[in-house]
Structure 1
Amino acid sequence: MNRDPNRGIFQIGDILNNTYKIDQVLGRGGTSEVYRAKSEISGRVVALKALRLEYSRNEDFLALMTREEEMREIRHDAVVRYYDNQRTNAGLVYLVMDYVEGPGLDQKIKDGGMSAADLLVVARRVTEGLIAAHAKNIVHRDLSPDNIILRHGKPSDAVIIDFGIAKDTNPGAETIVGNEFAGKYAYAAPEQLNGQTDERADIYALGALLLAAFNGKPPNIGANPMEVIQRKALPLDTSGVPEPLKSLIDKMTHPDREARLQTARAVLAEIDQPTGSDVDEAEIDFGDETEERTVIAPRPTTVKPAAKAEPALTPAAPKKTGGNGAKYGILAALAASVAGAGVFFFGYLTPVSGPVYPVADPYTLVAARPADGSAQIFGNVPSEAARDDMLALVDELGGSGDLTLSTGDITPTWGEDIVQIIGQVSVLPEWSVLADGNVVKITGITDDAAEQSRLNAAFSAANMPAGLTGTAEITLNLPILPASDLTPVLQSQADCGALQLVDTPPLGYPAGGQVLVLGQVASAETLSSLTGALTDKIGDRDLVMNVEVLNPTLCLMSTVLPAAPSGGIAIKFLNGADNSMNPKGQYLVGDNPVIDVVIPADTTDGFLFVSALDVSGNVFHLLPNILITDNSVASLRAGQAGEVTVRVAYPLADAADGTKLAFTVDDTTLGKTQVVVIHADDQIFDGLRPTTESADSFAAALQNAVGTVQSLDSSILTTAQP
């Protein structure tokens, strides 16, 4: 009963729904796995994307799989062909699609990049695929180098894959699934950071990945959220890229989507008839290359002069204060708008009317302290008092900021409310406050469960300051959890052999990590208790229980059965009423199970021992027994070559004369029965075992068994009420 700790959703050789035979594992992630398979009917080679069982029952993930299935309406050689979702008898959901053989552009980037000539070929091919997808109102949203495969290594046979946004949790899969943003943001369009996505986002992403494939490295977008926001407002650095590829990328990746090539057809036209670059080539300091990080940002802000405002005697510039951290300006788009329009800030008009500032639309503010950096704040504020209070808070944390006095469509107490919110979250080691008008998003991480509860309650919808709406997500981030802290829990709950931790990180489990447990337990009560005890220990980490519920008899047997490999001896279940196959091995009260053992062609000597271990604690010896005493392979073959099927439990009608063994299901032994086949060199027991004996006596006999066991194969038969 020992199980391979590396076992996946499916195994090599598995045949799904009597059609697809698994022959290769292509990739494994936290939520899904991808396999290559071959249709047993048509011989067609396909790729299967399978959800793990816990996600196969999750409506959100099923919706994402259904979204991918809708891609089958697209018929183009540059778009992977999707077929349909299927569900196995065990409840596992998988998506069938074409198998595309060849390297991805991500591999080409790792290998140092590609030539401009080859990339223009790739650009044409992928653009044609996007034209087909966009015609069906389908936007990829996550176009990146790993989603472009060069079939057989040919640029002219590039294929777009993975139109589903559900990404696994492997390191490097930095994609957010939600309402705000989806996409690996080194390749995501600036507007995607604000949740705005249309076909122009795919155009930007294609241009960005072409640049990465030429340079042999991803675009540099900054090391922290503030830099990301700033750099996304700037053109990509295409210096060194030869024409016409340079101009094409420039036009595809303009930060302003209104100035970008607007459609995939326009991109194709530019490839066919290049018109040159119209992007400002002013030198830009792009800094050092930095790996991708995830960010959610407010929309870029534009500032308009206040209507009918009279100039003050002395312009009042926004106050800046700095700390130990580096200073960051406001959004580049905001700065450009202010400078270009010659906007300045107005002083006091009269004691009655108060100061009048330029109008900001939308009205945004970002304040954040990342885990590995100092606090920063920038955006719009409605008053000097609010500005000074916010900057003072950030300054106390050793950070810096740049705030613009402006008016907008906000609640009268907006400034005081945001100061209050920042003051409350500033105690956290990592936090962010994103305000877009009167909508506020608050996030933070703490290692104190009481503090997490307090802050989430303080920022609930019921307790949000009047006039503001939004969400708060204060998560519990426990320190590294050593695997040794979980070992006592596993040992205390183990009642059916040892429970194991699989893929244990060398230093322990980080926050947000995954704890995978493998093994068997004797009851559903034990599984529930084990799950609860582990959940209390691991905090916000994911718990994956690959634990099988057996019963006391099977658990006892798992400790005494020989530790032998599989011999390829198949166990088949049939229905006694009509001799039909029962591949699931599931029977109801009153049914007559029939059991066949299939001896492989290369098993020609030795002896077979077949027993059924049921939930009641009884063991039924199907071979040998008083009715069939000769269990030698040679006798069972009776001179036949190749595979030989031996029946060890018969239909009732065949056993009516008392010369054969047959049984029916009654309501006293419902549950799992394990049928085991032991293949040994010689007789391993001292004499013939009784047809029925207790699990304890059989366990004692196994412990005293002699001879060499060559293999052990088993299968589960399940009985239940109608």
Structure 2
Amino acid sequence: MLESMPGDLFQPGDLLNNTYRIEGLLGRGGTSDVYKARSEISGNLVAVKVLKREHAANEDFHVLMAREENIREIRHAAVVRYSENHRTPDGHIYLLMDFVDGPALDKKLRQGPMEMEDLMIICRCVAQGLEAAHLRNIVHRDLSPDNIILRGGNPAEAVIIDFGIAKDTNPGAQTIVGNEFAGKYSYAAPEQLSGQTDARSDIYSLGALILANFRGAAPKLGNNPMEVVENKQNPLDTDAVPEPLKTLIERMCAPNPDDRFQSATEVVQFIDHPIAAPAPESIEEATIIVPQAASKPTAKPDPDPTPKSRMPMVALVAVAVIGGGAAAFFSGALDGVLGSNLPNADPFALVVEKVDGTISASGFVPDDRILTTLSEQSGQADLTIANGDIADSWSVDIETVLAAVSPFPAWKLSLSGNSGTLTAATTDASQAAMLEQAFGGRLPGALDGPVEVAFELPILAAHTVADILKDHADCGALTVNPPLSTTGYSPDESLQVKGPVADTATRVTLFDALHAQADERRIILDVEVLNAALCVVEQHLPKAPVGPVDVAFSVGGEGTPNPSGRFYVGENPVIDLVLPASLTDGFLTVSILDVSGNVFHLLPNINRPDNAVENLRDGRAGEVAVRVAFDLQEAATNGGIAFQVDDSSLGKSKVLVLHSNAPLFEGLRPTTESATGFAEALKESSDADVGRITSLNTQMLVTANP
């Protein structure tokens, strides 16, 4: 499990719906996080998927969660079992699903190649799960190693998870992500890049991920987006894959959907009764045509990953020399056949690196061609042509690496024979992603070794953050922690924004604007979503410290405490002020700004003009509760103010409690007035009252439909 952070919606120990105790965080995604929880009733483990804060109020994502819940109709052992959506008291939607205990295939991928027998079992199991989903016209669209878990590590118990971007192809069905590309480039079918998906797209993705796990490396797609698109039109490289897995993958992953298996059922049938593709005819004799000396051959990628020696051959070969035999001999064109007078290098080492914009190269190379390439690119080169134990495609593989890393500001390629390491650093996230897509974390071709990309965020300018906060401050000042610096924010600093905003739309656009500039930095929006009426008053509230007075809510008619401050249609909010023993003098001014734009003055008002703390205590010492909004029955008896929630205006209201050393305003305010009128009164009295006010307490009261 991942380490919890203060900004996470749920923390270990939290209890959801009085039933599910959070045990830890399983994963963070782009729109949601997934937690592990245990039912305190049954003891069963569950997974809890919750929308991130920035999407919690977005109805589009609510629809997406509801659609994912509907996939619970798919009942199959290879498809994760969904339960239902719930909502926390503060409005966050979460989805319950089975907890599948076991490694995902992406973990297996990082551990190296898997056995063909296990992969055939996994493929059959997942195909059966897809068969159940496709029968209900549900296409997953995001099959990849991280979305398949082996329950208990057993290949026969593979489970498909995360139908979050699944496409419902039933007539009239809608999907949030629509027909645009959805999925992961490495495993997506070619037609998905243009937004076209059906059941055959899932079949392609399943075949591609099975191939990746067989090789122990993600697919290599190219060095740029154009190459990715072009390479997707080519068949996957199944060279050296044994039968029947080779034919299975080729028929699952044909670039043209019409050439693939047309259903998951056909995949299962093939696995149960495999028919291997005919083996190619063997070539018993070969004639080597040696080119003329003037045209030394360009190395071709070697389909056989086994390293081949460039040492002189000790074999009998029939050679047909077409002209220029002597020149060919002296030029080295016949070195591979007749031997070479070049020195041997053991180890065959090469280091090429880029530091401060300058490329340097030192070590051994096999021919003039790669020597010229490296010399032309390098500011300094110390290279020697030699023989060594390297693959025939060595030079071509080096050029592939150089083409991919050339845009990076810093990198280093270190090789010893065919083995080595490529390290690169960049502040451009797209560069890092493209290198990962191109090589899948491993050196290309016959080269063997890791590709390590260090993504370093650039400094985020302080004025950029300041401008964003200013542009979105529609309800008072927005502040950021750490505070705005004179230079900017380093790559390891997260941004935590506090303050009020007028509505959810502002919150969303604020996050989007920050996210667009902050790259991978963590953004925490600890903002309070109010409404236009509250914001009018908010900007004119006096600046005063938080005081010792507590605001306590309870449900009228029941007397049940309601610490959340959330009330539903038909309920009667009761409000008490809890005065500490130390508060014995001064005056209390209490108002409630409701969601409709009205202000109710609970204390003082025409019916209750006395707001002196001493009189409110009425001779009582210690902690004292003073009621300012009454039970309906109480109000009918004593004439106090009472409220009942109806569905005409739901949302957030704010209770204000001002403590002062003298009465505020010039005379009593009306029992009810507009937010604009109250804001004007605050503005006019600010000069006179600023010295009188000692503290300000606020508390939110939220009204909602059940």
- Partner Cα distance (2:194, 2:36) in 1: 37
- Partner Cα distance (2:302, 2:182) in 1: 24
Contact 1:650-1:662 within 8 A present in 2 as well = no
1:218 matches 2:221: no
Query: RMSD of aligned C-alpha atoms?
Result: 5.9
Offset, 1:607: 8.6
Listed one character per residue, the Cα deviations across residues 618-652 of structure 1 (whole Å, up to 9, x for unaligned) are 89989x95554235xxxxxxxxxxxxxx9776996
| Paired position in structure 2 for 1:487 | 466
Paired residues for 1:34-433 under 5 Å: 34-39=34-39, 41-52=41-52, 55-165=55-165, 177-277=177-277
Amino acid of the structure 2 residue aligned with 1:262? Q
| Paired position in structure 1 for 2:379 | none
Distance 1:279 1:556, change over 3 A: farther
Contact 1:576-1:651 within 8 A present in 2 as well = no
| Paired position in structure 2 for 1:575 | 555
| Paired position in structure 2 for 1:673 | 655
Contact 1:553-1:614 within 8 A present in 2 as well = no
Counterpart secondary structure, 1:107: helix
Distance 1:699 1:77, change over 3 A: farther
Paired residues for 1:321-720 under 5 Å: 482-487=461-466, 490=469, 499-500=479-480, 518-521=497-500, 524=502, 546-548=526-528, 549=530, 559-560=545-546, 573-580=553-560, 582=562, 584-586=564-566, 591=572, 593=574, 625=617, 628-631=620-623, 664-665=641-642, 671-673=653-655, 700=694, 716-717=700-701
Distance 1:23 1:534, change over 3 A: closer
Offset, 1:519: 1.0
Offset, 1:487: 2.9
Contact 1:481-1:538 within 8 A present in 2 as well = no
Distance 1:495 1:189, change over 3 A: closer
Counterpart secondary structure, 1:218: coil
Contact 1:235-1:250 within 8 A present in 2 as well = yes
Q: Percent identity?
A: 42
Listed one character per residue, the Cα deviations across residues 227-258 of structure 1 (whole Å, up to 9, x for unaligned) are 22332222212234344333332332222333
Offset, 1:102: 2.4
- Partner Cα distance (2:245, 2:582) in 1: 70
- Partner Cα distance (2:576, 2:202) in 1: 57
Distance 1:112 1:39, change over 3 A: same
- Partner Cα distance (2:571, 2:128) in 1: 61
Distance 1:590 1:112, change over 3 A: closer
Contact 1:674-1:717 within 8 A present in 2 as well = no
Which piece of structure 1 moves more, 155-164 or 497-506? Answer: 497-506
Amino acid of the structure 1 residue aligned with 2:574? P
- Partner Cα distance (1:629, 1:148) in 2: 65
- Partner Cα distance (1:504, 1:245) in 2: 58
Distance 1:286 1:9, change over 3 A: farther
- Partner Cα distance (1:40, 1:612) in 2: 45
- Partner Cα distance (2:18, 2:255) in 1: 51
Contact 1:13-1:23 within 8 A present in 2 as well = yes
- Partner Cα distance (2:25, 2:544) in 1: 29
Distance 1:580 1:143, change over 3 A: same
Q: Structure 2: state its 5+ residue gaps.
A: 168-175, 283-298, 306-403, 408-429, 431-457, 593-600, 604-610, 645-651, 666-688
Listed one character per residue, the Cα deviations across residues 334-356 of structure 1 (whole Å, up to 9, x for unaligned) are xxxxxxxxxxxxxxxxxxxxxxx
The count of aligned residue pairs is 466
| Paired position in structure 1 for 2:374 | none
Amino acid of the structure 1 residue aligned with 2:145? P
Offset, 1:613: 7.2
Distance 1:529 1:662, change over 3 A: same
Distance 1:489 1:260, change over 3 A: closer
The TM-score with structure 2 as length reference comes to 0.52
Contact 2:7-2:524 within 8 A present in 1 as well = no
- Partner Cα distance (1:145, 1:163) in 2: 14
Counterpart secondary structure, 1:258: helix
Amino acid of the structure 2 residue aligned with 1:102? G
| Paired position in structure 2 for 1:404 | none
Distance 1:61 1:692, change over 3 A: same
- Partner Cα distance (2:62, 2:145) in 1: 25
Offset, 1:12: 4.5
Contact 1:5-1:518 within 8 A present in 2 as well = no
- Partner Cα distance (1:204, 1:135) in 2: 17
Distance 1:672 1:613, change over 3 A: same
| Paired position in structure 1 for 2:433 | none
Q: Which has the larger radius of gyration?
A: 2
- Partner Cα distance (1:263, 1:536) in 2: 43
Counterpart secondary structure, 1:486: helix
Contact 2:36-2:45 within 8 A present in 1 as well = yes
Listed one character per residue, the Cα deviations across residues 245-297 of structure 1 (whole Å, up to 9, x for unaligned) are 3333233222233332232222222222322135989999599x9xxxxxxxx
